């Protein structure tokens, strides 16, 4: 059952990345700027002029785009690793990193063919680091869960 749920979540993740990557340059930039605007409205003081807000948006947008790459691939690392462990494969850590990196490469290759977009090696590295982060987070959370679960099991058996 977990394998089916994780498989569905992986399909949703891949589809989401494909959808964002398939946006033209202007549309993709508009999505990023819209996100930055929402964040700014809730964080930045209202005393900024409209020009100051626009300048700030232009400065922050590249960072937000890179952060989005990283975060969405952290989610991918969690999903890929979790999915791989349901198959009891040897070395799921390495296999998950390879699968995630290959997907990052194909994603950038896809963007190469979209008007106004480009393929960037730096995004592949950032995405791969996101995959690695997601895998490591998952392993750490699994170890923490097992440690807590084993303590509860030991306490119950002592009673």
State the 10-residue block means of pLDDT for the chain, 159 residues long: 93 94 78 75 74 81 85 97 91 96 96 89 96 98 88 63
Can you give the pLDDT at residue 86? 93
Can you give the pLDDT at residue 54? 78
Measured distance CA(130)–CA(119) in Å, rounded: 17
Can you give the pLDDT at residue 15? 96
- Residue numbers of the domain that contains 67: 2-158
CA distances from 17 to 21, 69, 73 (A): 6, 9, 9
Can you give the pLDDT at residue 45? 65
Q: Based on the structure, what is the number of domains in the chain?
A: 1
Measured distance CA(70)–CA(4) in Å, rounded: 25
Closest CA to 136 of 83, 56, 81: 81
Can you give the pLDDT at residue 153? 64
The encoded tokens of residue 49 equal 């002029």
Contact 117, 25 (CB under 8 A): yes
Can you give the pLDDT at residue 51? 87
Can you give the pLDDT at residue 49? 82
DSSP state of 91: -
Can you give the pLDDT at residue 66? 87
**Long-range Cβ contact pairs of 10-14 (< 8 A, separation 24 or more):** 10/79, 10/80, 10/83, 13/72, 13/75, 13/76, 13/79, 14/103
Can you give the pLDDT at residue 155? 61
């Amino acid at each position: 059952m977990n394998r089916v749920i994780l498989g569905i979540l992986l399909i949703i993740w891949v589809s989401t990345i494909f959808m964002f990557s398939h946006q033209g340059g202007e549309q993709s930039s508009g999505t990023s700027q819209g996100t930055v605007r929402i964040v700014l409205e809730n964080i930045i003081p209202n005393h900024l002029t409209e020009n100051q807000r626009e300048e700030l948006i232009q400065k922050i947008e590249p960072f937000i785009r890179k952060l989005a790459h990283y975060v969405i691939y952290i989610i991918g690392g969690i999903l890929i690793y979790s999915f791989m462990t349901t198959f009891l494969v040897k070395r799921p850590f390495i296999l998950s990193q390879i699968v995630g990196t290959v997907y990052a490469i194909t994603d950038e290759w896809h963007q190469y063919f979209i008007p106004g977009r480009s393929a960037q090696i730096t995004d592949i590295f950032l995405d791969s680091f996101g995959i690695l982060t997601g895998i490591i987070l998952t392993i750490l959370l699994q170890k923490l869960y097992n440690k807590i679960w084993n303590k509860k099991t030991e306490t119950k058996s002592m009673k």
